[in-house]
Amino acid sequence: MNSPDIEAVKSYLLKLQSHICAALETADGKARFELDEWQREQGGGGRTRLLSDGTVFEQAGVNFSHVFGSSMPASATAHRPELAGRSFQAMGVSLVIHPHNPYVPTSHANVRFFIAEKEGEAPVWWFGGGYDLTPYYPFHEDVVEWHQCAKAACDPFGPELYPKYKKWCDDYFFLKHRSETRGVGGLFFDDLNSPGFDTAFAFMQSVGNSYTDAYLPIVQRRQATPFGERERDFQLYRRGRYVEFNLVFDRGTLFGLQSGGRTESILMSLPPLVKWRYNWQPEPDSPEADLYENYLRPRDWLGKK
């Protein structure tokens, strides 16, 4: 197994952050990302880039972080208890896009690298990441195209990867207390360290590089769709599910908070406006009911409609 090249990973992640920000600025046409560089007292830091009140995007956050410490936080060792007490480095790019128009889905992506070390023992390292799509008023063809891009990112590395990581995404982005998926899924992978560093790193890059190809065509198709108060109100209500998942289940949020990361950067994924209602239900045969009945459950999006 070839040795991990930490500097190569960091260089790629910084370039990926810049590429995604440039692509989102072009798509928005007005707003620009503000840069906020920060340092972590326990070791490391990052650069947060945030776009607000654009023409297309209400808020878009694209965060790079590289943190390290003498022992891994509990969220990172929950399913790998043998790593407790090791020093660690963690780096990644994480982003969440909240558009203005309810017909444009929210999207999330991240790619990351962990390495845990202990004197006298071989380092333990892995890649993780993926992306998922959260529509409010979904279009079947958009969801199919999203999954086609996800599959294309996986296919050079083996035909088994897309179905494996698609299912992992469906299982991970599931709100157990609501018995519904957060959206229509995509890819999720973690603990990837085989068959070797070069191949695992190449796969992570393939996923990271494919994100804008998957998302921006959907944005361009739907950003001018007319909407009114009803659609906006439903968008804000459904954003509440996003908040619930990120604060209750999301590993990245838990890792960031437990490792002493920068709170403002960790919580940049939360939408600027959101609503909750008690026991709200969609009207039968409505566009809102279509989301609940046909999209908030795992499906084979690349099979027959």
Contacts 24+ apart (CB under 8 A), 263-266: 264/36, 264/48, 265/36, 265/38, 265/46, 265/48, 265/63, 265/65
Is 262 annotated to bind ligand? Answer: yes
Of the candidates 300, 287, 302, 303, which has an alpha carbon nearest to the alpha carbon of residue 135?
Answer: 287
Task: From 305, 303, 301, select the one nearest 147 (Cα to Cα).
Answer: 301
Active site residue 108: yes
What is the rounded distance in angstroms from the CA atom of residue 134 to the CA atom of residue 31?
Answer: 23
In 40-86, DSSP assigns E strands to 44-52, 57-69
Distance in angstroms between the alpha carbons of the first and the last residue of the chain: 42
Cross-strand bridge partners of residue 134: 106
* 80 known ligand binder: no
Known binding residue 2? Answer is no
Rounded Cα distance between 142 and 88, Å, is 39
Whether 261 has a binding-site annotation, put simply, is yes
The answer for residues whose C-beta is within 8 angstroms of residue 166's C-beta and 6 or more apart is 147, 150, 151, 185, 186, 187
Q: Is 222 annotated as a binding residue?
A: no
3-state secondary structure of 238: helix
Q: Determine if residue 279 is labeled as part of a ligand binding site.
A: no
* CA diameter of the chain: 64
Q: Which of 19, 66, 79, 108 is catalytic?
A: 108
46 is in an annotated binding site: no
Q: Can you tell me the distance from the alpha carbon of 13 to that of 94, in angstroms, rounded to the nearest whole number?
A: 10
Query: 101 a known binding residue?
Result: no
Instruction: Look at the block and give the residue holding tokens 């896009």.
Output: 97
- Rounded to the nearest 5°, which phi and psi values hold at 63? -115, 135
260 labeled binding residue: yes
- Binding site, annotated residues for a divalent metal cation: 98, 108, 147, 177
Q: Which residues are catalytic, by number?
A: 108
- Binding site, annotated residues: 94, 98, 108, 110-112, 147, 177, 260-262
- Binding site, annotated residues for substrate: 94, 110-112, 260-262
